[in-house]
Chain A
């Protein structure tokens, strides 16, 4: 839930040029969720945009589902790369950006990584190379919610100062409130102007944003059972008019 605003901005804010009814259209912009375990957030957006029927959402993680926990590009329309092992989707996004440049199709490749994921060496491998080759058509987000499974990022491997790190790697870097859609939109507009360097938009976020009992759970919310009553309470809290 920490990435909902960013996804909404991409898919509804006119930044991701793509057609839900032609998911394999050549030259489309692409979004790769490198933080694959956030798959369900992406699914909600893809379903709402019409990439697949809404009732698929009830099949999450069911046997033979088209919506597995971690996105699979062979199972779900709108998923551009199979991800789930942290760091790899980010490299793949860079590869796609290079391919787009080689094809000269004008596509922008968007990707999103986690702050836990930012501890993986592969992230920094790709960061180095993206800057080296001036991958201006690559725009990335970091979901900086400060939490991993075993504790806060500050307790385990502090990333601070994260924005300085990305700047030091040669990326155009912005840090915004990850739940402020207008701020994210502004950052995206600015990022798209950068044609000579890749862009990193660091989203200051809270896990479970908008649902008080999930926010309160902290690290435990990475994987927590939720009862039907809690689901109803959560929906009420998110949208009292629903």
Chain B
């Protein structure tokens, strides 16, 4: 916000919760708190965008997507307004806010919107690198992000490419394709598998739409087996995106780690990671399961 005066922030009463309250103090005339009205927040931002501003609308992930799906679709995606939508505390990171706030659907919803980019940074470094690119990109972007300081996956200062998946570990035996908090779990799973002589490729797919098909296909072509890992329902998110790709271009044995079409519940993160089978040991188990399947005998290029 300090370097680009086109950026404005529109909040729906959660500035203190989502960490944008400091911006209100520093840039009061470019900070708008519409109160508990997310629908207005979205279309209001679209109206500001028609004036050349770049609005960031910020709220918890369920209210940024499920609650205002039509506003995202019509005022933003269809109208082509340059609004960036931030959904905080997605999936199990909603923790004690519980099942009503636990979005396992937000990627599915936004991925299905034509013209909507979908991004999920895995840590603070990723966010810092991707944010300027999101500002520079002329078009709607939905970004789901854990508001607490995420464990560091990328070294500070690493430059990532918004349009490319990042290979954070190289291996020949299985592709672990992950996003968000699951990237760190996938890296830990890779360590577990390495003890058994299974070397995993680990991909940080920070941009789920558009998918970096080239990097993903290169990985699964090499390994012949893939496990997708997402803090989301296995239906409609990253796993589905990868399944769509491989089924059409290069079928491989595929397993999906994520919520198995279940409702959310209250809990702290370690409990929830186990409850929804998202943690490293579950990823490793899924990898072994996938590797035990017969390989596809060929793919139709």
Residues of A within 8 A of B (CB): 32, 72-74, 80-82, 84-85, 87-100, 102-103, 121-122, 125-126, 128-129, 132-133
Contacts and interface: CB of A to CB of B under 8 A. Distances in A.
Nearest to A82: B79
B37 A88 contact: no
A99 B74 contact: no
Interface of B: 8, 29-30, 32, 34-35, 37, 39-40, 42-53, 55, 70-71, 74-75, 78-80
> Interface SS of chain A: helix, strand, loop or mixed?
helix
Contacts of B48: 95-96, 98-99
A81 B50 CA distance: 7
15 contacts: A81-B46, A81-B79, A82-B78, A85-B75, A88-B70, A90-B43, A91-B42, A92-B47, A94-B47, A99-B48, A99-B53, A102-B53, A103-B51, A125-B39, A129-B44
B113 to A, nearest CB: 13
Contact of A125 (B37, B49, B78): B37
A132 B44 CA distance: 14
B71 A88 contact: yes
A89 B50 contact: no
B35 A82 contact: no
Nearest to B80: A74
Contacts of B44: 91-92, 94-95, 98, 126, 129
A159 B126 CA distance: 50
A73 B49 CA distance: 12
Contact of B74 (A82, A102, A128): A82
A91 B79 contact: no
Contacts of A125: 34, 37, 39-40
A169 to B, nearest CB: 13
Contact of B47 (A72, A81, A133): A81
Contacts of A126: 37, 40, 43-44
A95 B74 contact: no
A95 B30 contact: no
Nearest to B79: A82
Nearest to A103: B51
B74 A100 contact: no
Contacts of B80: 74, 82
A208 B90 CA distance: 49
Give the top 4 A-B pairs by smallest Cβ distance, nearest first.
Answer: A95-B47, A91-B43, A99-B51, A92-B47
Most chain B beta-carbon contacts within 10 A, residue among A32, A82, A91, A102? A91
B87 to A, nearest CB: 19
A91 B40 contact: yes
A131 to B, nearest CB: 12
A142 to B, nearest CB: 17
A73 B50 contact: yes
A121 B67 CA distance: 13
A85 B35 contact: no
A133 B70 CA distance: 25
Contacts of B78: 82
Contacts of B55: 95
A89 B55 CA distance: 17
A56 B131 CA distance: 42
A44 to B, nearest CB: 23
Contacts of A87: 39, 43
Given A74-B80, A95-B46, A122-B39, 4 more contacts: A95-B43, A98-B47, A125-B37, A133-B32
A119 to B, nearest CB: 14
Nearest to B37: A125
A92 B75 contact: yes
A124 to B, nearest CB: 9
Contacts of B8: 102
Contact of A122 (B32, B43, B51, B53): B43
